[in-house]
Amino acid sequence: MFSLSDFAQLPQLKPLIGQIVSDGQPGVTIVAGIEAHPQSSPDNDRVFLPSGHNTFFETLYQHIMTVNPSCKATVVLPGKSHPRLPRELRHRIKVFSGDLAGAFPRQLAEAINQKPNLLIVDRLDHESLPYIFRAASQGVRVITLFETALWGYEVVRHLQDLGIEAENLPHLRWILTLRRLPALCRQCLRPALPNPALLARFRMHNPHLYDAINDENMVFYQSIGCAGCRGKGRAGDVLAFDVYSAHPPGKSELEQGSLLPLKFYMLQLAAQGYLSLEDVAFFEADQRKRLYQAYAYSRRTLHEVDSSLKRKLAELEAANQVLLKRTEVLISLQDTVQLLASTASLEELAERVCARARDMCGAERAILYYLHPSDLLDHQARVLAVAGWDKSLVNQRVPASLVTNPALGTQPSACNLMPPGGLPAEYQQEMAHLQSGIQVPLLAQDQRIGLMIIHTTRQRSFTPGDTALLQTFANQAAFAIQRAGLIAELQQKIIQLEAAQKDLVAKESLERELELARQVQQSVLPSVFPSIPGFSFAAKNAPARQVGGDFYDVFLLDDDHFGIVIADVSDKGMPAALYMALTRSLLLAEARRSLSPKEVLTQVNQLLLELGGASQFVSVFFGVIELSSKVLHYTRAGHDRPLLVREKIIYSLKGDGAVLGVLPESDLNLTQEHIPLLPGDRLVLYTDGLIDALSEQGQSFGLGRLHEALQQLSLDSPSEICASLFAQIASHSRDTERYDDTTLLVIGVD
């Protein structure tokens, strides 16, 4: 560990450092110097040497703590790791460190609130300047580190350029500047008399030093060059100091020079053989030259980086042109895939798949065989669609082994035989005209769900490009077919559920069940929201007569995150209420295991598949707000898109995903999005009962009315927005019976 005496070659420095150490008055002490410079410069002798003020800074504040046993300090180190402190000081020093974006001002504010005896700030800049002098104005002694090429009162001018207020200048007490300079080689050191031209320069530019130079007791030196210094006359380096007091007796800081001026210190170093007299005489000119060299090197480096970036940009542009050409080939495929995803009917979807597979490779015949899991019981698959073949083939049964045969593999393969399925006689005759065929397995999640066979009369074989395109298309089509099959099955179950619900309504126990469902629903809805700085919340829920499964919540996850959720269970009555309670419990449990909304909803979906009813599902919007950055990360699982109200502009939050509790993870297509929240924003979450509320004429409230209302209410508080929207819905619906719960959750960003 260094001591302060290790830095001083002159006895004049020690008592001044002693004054700084013992100065118990509140105010700011600055340790100034140069640390950063272009390390990779081809000629480092032409730029600044690191001054070492970082090391001196640490030694100074640790010495102050050592000689003041009762002193407690707070250290703020932006962008640095925890410092190595002597064991005896660790319990008296609290450290704020790290390099998170935006953390520096927050750390400074928190450090000032600690009310330490001594505040130590590792970086003085435009960002920390107001905090440092605010602390000094509150009676705190502050020591800080300043990166500058200036010294003495010029540092004060630099602070004024940074924006220091005039009323804060009286809080400045000391400026201690360090400059590391190349030292004369001690092996070839020789006494040297000042030449007349040099003396004339001192008389003109530094008259206060001229008399000292003419002192007959002063001896100066020069290094003539030797093998030890490789003829340069320089070996090692030496520290020079400037000590400036902002509060000299009887003078203002504007009238006062340094107590120990830098050039005087250098002159004394020259008298001890560390520097030449030329170093002292031409110091300012040398500093300007080094500043220019550092600037020129930085500018040259910036130009080289800019040229490199332009070359990379040109390369990327060329690659982009190639990519655009390749993308054009896939655009039609992408459009088709999107069309498939929007088709819910299994039969209609299969027809489109067949027709598109035939057309994309210029073929004339295509047939699609489908294997539903229930068909495995009777070991049969069926023809789901054809293109170019006779429509009578549709729904004909074929052996399931046609689809499940392992010999098919997972890649497209040649198939020059007549497709199975009992073709009419006229098609048997056309077989002679077919030039080539290809069979493409349909696999979803490694499960065989079908097979396509495509034939052509125009070409002897399918090209590798056709094969790759068919494989890509088949992969997407398989998922769409599986999804359509699940939807068809789900629709059938929904029909059955609705029929059962009608029977249940006829029973006298229905009202009791509905009341119990309301109680279950209300018991899980939050009565109060957590108090979270910077945010406000309001919610309103109006259950329908046949209670649905709407729920919402706001809950803390950790010190920097909280969750928001709104959901709508597909069912009604007690099943919906119980499914809602199950979903809420699972979501709260999983949310405390992961801060990723997508991961949370994916796991909740898996648990619902295992624990929930086969005919039930739930749409969910779940978001996690990071307090430090005010960024909302969210995932939307089939729920109505929330609305962000910002300065009377309404934004619908993007994001895709299917409802939970029905599909496996691979078919959910959940996406995780994020959006920064700004002061004044209003985030509006709602269930479909709000926009589906009907008037007496059968018109729904609709998104259009909701947008218009929110534009008018954009400056209102969340509670005012909730009250006003529900009043407008009541006015719209009047006495019309509601068939779905109406739920609204509004988050305000303060």
Q: Between 339 and 223, whose confidence is greater?
A: 223
Domain 343-416+427-490: CATH superfamily, name plus number: GAF domain (3.30.450.40)
| Other Cβ atoms within 10 Å of 301 Cβ, number | 13
The enclosing H or E element of 265 equals helix 262-271
Tokens of 528: 């109060």
* Main-chain dihedrals φ then ψ at residue 33, nearest 5 degrees: 175, -175
Whether the pLDDT of residue 390 is over 60: the answer is yes
The lowest-confidence range among 87-96, 158-167, 273-282, 422-431 is: 422-431
Name the most confidently modeled range: 68-77, 309-318, 637-646.
637-646
pLDDT band at 40 (very low <50, low <70, confident <90, very high): very low
The CATH number of 4-182+237-278 is 3.40.50.300
Q: How far is it, in rounded angstroms, from Cα 340 to Cα 355?
A: 12
Task: Find the mean pLDDT for residues 256-269.
Answer: 87
Of residues 86 and 548, more confidence is placed in: 86
Contact (CB, 8 A) for 729 and 690:
yes
| Residue-level pLDDT at 596 | 96
Does 48 score more than 80 pLDDT?
Answer: no
Query: Per-residue pLDDT tens for 234-254?
Result: 998 889 999 999 876 545 554
DSSP state of 391: G
pLDDT of 325 = 46
569 in Cβ contact with 689 (< 8 Å): no
pLDDT at 433 over 70: no
Average predicted confidence (pLDDT) for the chain: 84
pLDDT of residue 686: 96
What does the pLDDT average to over 143-155? 90
Residue 577: alpha-carbon gap to chain centroid: 37
Q: What's residue 211's pLDDT?
A: 78
For residue 428, count CB atoms less than 10 angstroms from its CB and return exposed for 0-12, middle for 13-18, buried for 19 or more.
exposed
pLDDT for the residue numbered 255: 47
- Of the two residues 344 and 659, the one the predictor is more confident about is 659
Report residue 45's pLDDT band, with 50, 70 and 90 as the boundaries: low
Task: Express each pLDDT in 291-327 by its tens digit.
Answer: 788 778 778 888 888 888 888 888 888 778 746 644 5
Say yes or no to pLDDT of 713 above 60.
yes
CA–CA dist 620, 586 (Å, integer): 12
Q: SS in 3 state form for 602-638?
A: HHHHHHHHHHCCCCCCEEEEEEEEECCCCEEEEEEEE
Give 76's contacts (C-beta < 8 A, 6+ positions apart). 96, 97, 104, 107, 108, 111, 119, 120, 121, 122, 128
pLDDT at residue 552, as a whole number: 94
Both tokens assigned to 453: 């066979």
- Tokens at residue 647, please? 């300065």
Average pLDDT over residues 358-382: 80
Top pLDDT among 471 and 235 is at 235
Within 10 angstroms of residue 727's Cβ, the number of other Cβ atoms is 11
Q: Is the pLDDT of residue 271 over 60?
A: yes
Q: How far apart are CA 532 and CA 606, in angstroms?
A: 31
> What does the pLDDT read at residue 395?
82
The Cα angle at residue 739 between residues 735 and 743, in degrees rounded to 5: 95
Tokens of 155: 């540092």
Once rounded to an integer, what is the mean pLDDT over residues 610-620?
84
pLDDT tens, residue by residue, 541-574: 888 765 667 899 999 999 999 999 999 988 777 7
Percent of the chain exceeding pLDDT 90 equals 31
Torsion of CA 57, 62, 63, 67, to 10 degrees: 150
* Residue 692 clears pLDDT 70, i.e. is over it: yes
Whether 152 contacts 176, CB under 8 Å: no
Examine the pLDDT at 443 and tell me if it is beyond 70: yes
Q: What is the rounded CA–CA span in Å between residue 648 and residue 632?
A: 20
Q: Which amino acid is it at 549?
A: G
What is the domain partition of the chain in residue ranges?
4-182+237-278, 343-416+427-490, 512-749
CB atoms within 10 A of CB 81: 10
Task: Give the lowest-confidence range in 41-50, 73-82, 370-379, 678-687.
Answer: 41-50
Q: Is the pLDDT of residue 516 over 60?
A: no
Is 512-749 assigned to CATH 3.40.50.720?
no
pLDDT at 444: 83
Higher confidence at residue 430 or residue 343?
A: 343
Q: Are the C-beta atoms of 692 and 701 separated by less than 8 Å?
A: yes
Strand (E) or helix (H) holding 402: helix 401-404
**510-524 helix and 464-505 helix, angle to the nearest 10 degrees:** 120
